[in-house]
Homo-oligomer: A and B are copies of this chain.
Amino acid sequence: MCCDAQLGEISKGENVARDKEILALNAFDPNAAGSADPELRAALQRRMRSFGSGSVLFYQEPIRMVRAEGVWMHDADGRRYLDVYNNVPSVGHSHPAVVAAISRQAGQLNTHTRYLNDVVDEYAERLLATFPDPISQLVLTCTGSEANDLALRIANAATGGRGIIVTESAYHGNTAAVSDVSPSSWPGREPPAHVRVVPAPETFRTPGDDIGARFAQSIEAAIADLQRDGIPFAGLLVDTIFSSDGVYADPAGFLAPAVELAHAQGGVFIADEVQPGFGRTGSAFWGFARHGVVPDIVTMGKPMGNGFPMGGVATRPELIDRFTAGTKYFNTFGGNPVAAAAGLAVLDVIRDEGLMDNASRVGGYLMDGLREIGNRHIQIGDVRGSGLFVGLELVRDRETKAPAPEIATHVINGLREHGILIGAAGPFGSTLKIRPPLCFTREHADIVVSACDEVLKTLPI
């Protein structure tokens, strides 16, 4: 989530100056004019006093959030917001089944995995059952960042290589090692020596039906470049819906040639499912499954516990064996029974409430609605995605497809006025990223489409 355009994930856009203004797209700027609301001013001062420049807030008038349920969040003034931004509370904010599971287990036992505990083992079995063979073992962590950090170490142990290939606006997490493979964390800078950056499998500005071959070619070139520099190739790491690159889901299957190539060159394929995983794409539980590929390593995070901090790595037993043969790894909070109980409740709710199917149906309905208003708003350059992970591309001009981050900012702030929370992504910050809780309905989709329609009518052009 870190590399949202709200934080600024500008990478190599030719037409976009990488100045502070754009990097901070829609982030609160403490140096800008203060708020007129004395309570908000006091809350902001309090936040800045304790967190200083490490504080990252949305909107120039940040929201004081107090409660949330389902798809709705409520601020301190009693105003409610339709949440199409936050993909962590994936089964719905404050879902009673998840809250009950956390409360029950926290009152019973919260300890580490050095003791046996049925809740943890049941969760592991239920989670592993969602993966294709031969992915059959798990390491539980506390965050997606820890999962990707561990995945890099497993890849290194498996291949002996360190060279990692990622896409140009990718974000994979916040540890030192994972920041190295997150180009959106170092916009405009050269990659670390062991990292190669390839263009995202972008189908909007570079159309054509050869996206799979094109993506594989760029990876082949990157591997060759690593080899020229004497850096053995370890693997290809991608978010399987390319969220931070601007949401690229189709055509399903385009990842296959890249994965095949990575394997042929002795590397592993790491599928970062922190964003697309747990049914969000509607047509499959995992983003990689849409592409008909089987990763060597899968990493998970955000929606796993619906907000309870948990992450994980699933892989083949022999990869875990190779890693543990050389390294001791233990995660104190990882796999604690409370996390496992939260995770089990999430799996139950996804199944019992039919959320994958809902994501598929409502996501399709939402995309249809957005395409329909695209007929009268030339700024809508593209509507794409899968399930309830939708990218709405804003352009200055449909012919040139020039990215319009300033229109994205206008829409983000305009939707906020309409009581809708949304963010942007992509190398230019011009892709609105729609990823609401999976209990989103057609009525909620109508609200979003209609508000987008209204806001786009008010463009100050």
Determine the distance from Cα of A73 to Cα of B116 in the docked complex, in whole angstroms: 13
The answer to whether A139 has its CB under 8 Å from any CB of chain B is yes
Which residues from chain B contact A338 at a C-beta distance below 8 Å?
307-308
Using an 8 Å CB-CB cutoff, how does the interface string of A62-84 with B read, 1 for contact, 0 for none? 11111110000100000000000
Min CB gap A346→B, angstroms: 13
| 17 contacts across the A-B interface (CB closer than 8 A) | A47-B116, A50-B121, A53-B317, A54-B323, A57-B114, A57-B115, A73-B115, A94-B109, A103-B103, A142-B333, A143-B331, A146-B174, A149-B175, A152-B176, A174-B329, A307-B336, A309-B339
Q: How large is the interface on A (under 10, 10 to 19, 20 to 34, 35 or more residues)?
A: 35 or more
The answer to whether A430 has its CB under 8 Å from any CB of chain B is no
Binding site for B on A (CB under 8 A): 1-3, 6-8, 40, 43-44, 46-47, 49-58, 62-68, 73, 86, 88-89, 93-94, 96, 98-99, 102-103, 106-118, 121, 124-125, 128, 136-139, 142-146, 149-150, 152-153, 174-177, 179, 184-186, 301-302, 306-310, 317, 320-321, 323-325, 327-333, 336, 338-339
Residues A138 and B50 in contact in the complex (CB < 8 Å), given A113-B56, A115-B58, A175-B149: yes
Which residues from chain B contact A109 at a C-beta distance below 8 Å?
65-68, 73, 93-94
Determine the distance from Cα of A40 to Cα of B116 in the docked complex, in whole angstroms: 9
The answer to whether B327 touches A179, judged by C-beta atoms less than 8 angstroms apart, is yes
Residues A111 and B94 in contact in the complex (CB < 8 Å), given A102-B102, A174-B329: no
* Interface residue SS majority, chain A: mixed
Which residues from chain B contact A111 at a C-beta distance below 8 Å?
65, 68, 73, 86, 88-89, 93, 307
The answer to whether B54 touches A115, judged by C-beta atoms less than 8 angstroms apart, is no
Which residues from chain B contact A65 at a C-beta distance below 8 Å?
109, 111, 115-117
